[in-house]
């Protein structure tokens, strides 16, 4: 059973996991730099390849919040490795950005995909996470990972090969630090030391991105959800079934989708990296198939979109999300 579901009646996971439908979120950064038009603008602006255009992001996040999107997701990329990775992620420190959007939004869950736990001291992570959760009124979903960028570990004097053990230790520390009764030192809780602010949620949900060098049994016991790379409906069906078995059906199953939504609503789907170029009707069909496969939430990435992200957000809210209310999975149940 997932850790959180045994303890809480209400959590930020309730914002993205609905019994009757798949929910949609937005993955930052909110630009379309990976489209031909976006690449031309980047070159004209003199921005390095991999550094996103964030000029409209704040307004777009506000609009997504108002339109009923379930979540906004942001990545943890401490160092821009232009040669080996070529992607600066969301640019800003992930906890600073979370706090900023906590004050600008009212409804969406704020998710990380994902904070690399072993490269931070767990006490400082616990305080930053608790602060965001308190400031947002309990809307934080903490996506966590062990990290796949080896350059970060030597920069911090840390052992890349030990990241699996460090991940488990960090998870255990966070669970204790968010509860009253003292902070742990060398495995012993010191009752006169406390962590402030207290999170708004009794226990902040943790969602694992990738495997984090753990087996399914450990993840199913200690994680409240799973965030996987985009894949086919067939692949998602198998992954979701495995995860639901590991968590006795209590763990949320989340993925992402790179979308280039075409003007022609009837346009057939064409595969692109991590997603599809497709018209609205084909997208709705695909999303309902993912729901039937066991996917609870999908983070939409618009970086490959030929149309402006603002247009896509409006169309998703007005035309696509209402069509997802009748979830085949719920109907079958």
The confidence score (pLDDT) of residue 149 equals 80
Query: What domains can you pick out in the chain, each with its CATH number?
Result: 4-332 (3.20.20.30)
Q: What is the pLDDT of residues 183-223, one digit of tens each?
A: 988 878 888 899 999 999 999 999 999 999 999 999 999 99
Contacts for 207 with CB less than 8 Å, ≥ 6 apart: 111, 113, 114, 141, 142, 143, 144, 223, 224, 225, 226, 227, 252, 254
Output the pLDDT for position 9: 52
The answer to whether residues 219 and 168 touch, using CB atoms and an 8 Å cutoff, is no
Could you report the per-residue pLDDT of 127-159, keeping only the tens digit for each? 999 999 999 999 999 999 999 887 899 999 999
Helix (H) or strand (E) holding 221: helix 216-222
Burial class (CB in 10 A: 0-12, 13-18, 19+), 174: buried
**pLDDT tens for each residue of 213-253:** 999 999 999 999 999 999 999 999 999 999 999 999 999 99
For tokens 């979701």, the residue is 240
165 contacts 122 by C-beta, under 8 angstroms: no
pLDDT digits over 263-314, tens only?
999 999 999 999 999 999 999 999 999 999 999 999 999 999 999 999 999 9
Per-residue model confidence (pLDDT) at position 8: 41
Classify residue 179 by its DSSP letter. S
Q: pLDDT tens for residues 80-107?
A: 988 888 889 999 999 999 999 999 999 9
Residue 18 has pLDDT above 80, yes or no: yes
Averaged over 39-62, what is the pLDDT?
A: 96
Taking the C-alpha atoms of residue 223 and residue 286, their distance in angstroms, rounded to an integer, is 27
C-alpha–C-alpha distance, residues 111 and 74, integer Å: 6
Express each pLDDT in 167-182 by its tens digit: 999 999 999 999 988 8
**Residues contacting 213, CB < 8 A, separation 6+:** 146, 163, 164, 167
pLDDT band with cut points at 50, 70 and 90 for residue 7: very low
Q: Which band of pLDDT confidence, cut at 50, 70 and 90, is reported for residue 326? A: low
pTM for the predicted model, two decimal places: 0.93
**Contact between 51 and 62 (Cβ < 8 Å):** no
Angle, to 10 degrees, between the axis of helix 280-293 and the axis of helix 233-246?
A: 30
pLDDT value for 184: 85
- Helix, strand, coil content of the chain in percent (nearest 5): 40, 20, 40
């Amino acid at each position: 059973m997932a850790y959180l579901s045994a303890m809480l009646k209400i959590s930020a996971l309730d914002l993205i996991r609905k019994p009757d439908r798949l929910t949609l979120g937005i993955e930052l950064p909110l630009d379309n730099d990976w489209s031909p038009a976006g690449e031309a603008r980047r070159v004209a602006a003199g921005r390095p390849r991999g550094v996103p255009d964030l000029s409209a992001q704040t307004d777009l996040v506000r609009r997504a919040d108002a339109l009923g999107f379930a979540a906004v997701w942001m990545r943890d990329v401490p160092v821009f490795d232009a040669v080996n990775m070529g992607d600066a992620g969301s640019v800003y420190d992930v906890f600073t950005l979370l706090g900023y959007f906590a004050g600008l939004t009212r409804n969406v869950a704020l998710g990380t995909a994902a904070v690399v736990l072993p490269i931070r001291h767990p006490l400082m992570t616990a305080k930053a996470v608790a602060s965001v959760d308190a400031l947002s009124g309990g809307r934080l979903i903490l996506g966590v990972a062990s990290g796949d960028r080896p350059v970060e570990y030597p920069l911090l004097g840390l052992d890349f090969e030990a990241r699996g053990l460090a991940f488990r230790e960090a998870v255990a520390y966070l669970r204790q630090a968010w509860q009253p009764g003292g902070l742990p030192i060398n495995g012993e809780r010191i009752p006169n030391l406390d962590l402030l602010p207290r999170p708004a949620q009794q226990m902040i949900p943790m969602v694992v991105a990738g495997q984090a060098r753990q087996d399914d049994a450990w993840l199913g016991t200690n994680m409240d959800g799973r965030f996987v790379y985009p894949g086919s409906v067939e692949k998602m069906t198998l992954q979701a079934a495995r995860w639901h078995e590991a968590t006795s059906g209590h763990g949320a199953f989340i993925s992402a989708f790179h979308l280039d939504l075409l003007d022609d609503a009837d346009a057939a789907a064409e595969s692109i990296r991590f997603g599809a170029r497709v018209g609205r009707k084909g997208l709705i069909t695909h999303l309902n198939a993912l729901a039937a496969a066991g996917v609870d939430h999908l983070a939409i990435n618009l970086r490959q979109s030929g149309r402006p992200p603002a247009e896509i957000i409006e169309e998703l809210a007005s035309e696509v999300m209402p069509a997802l209310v009748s979830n085949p999975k719920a109907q079958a149940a």
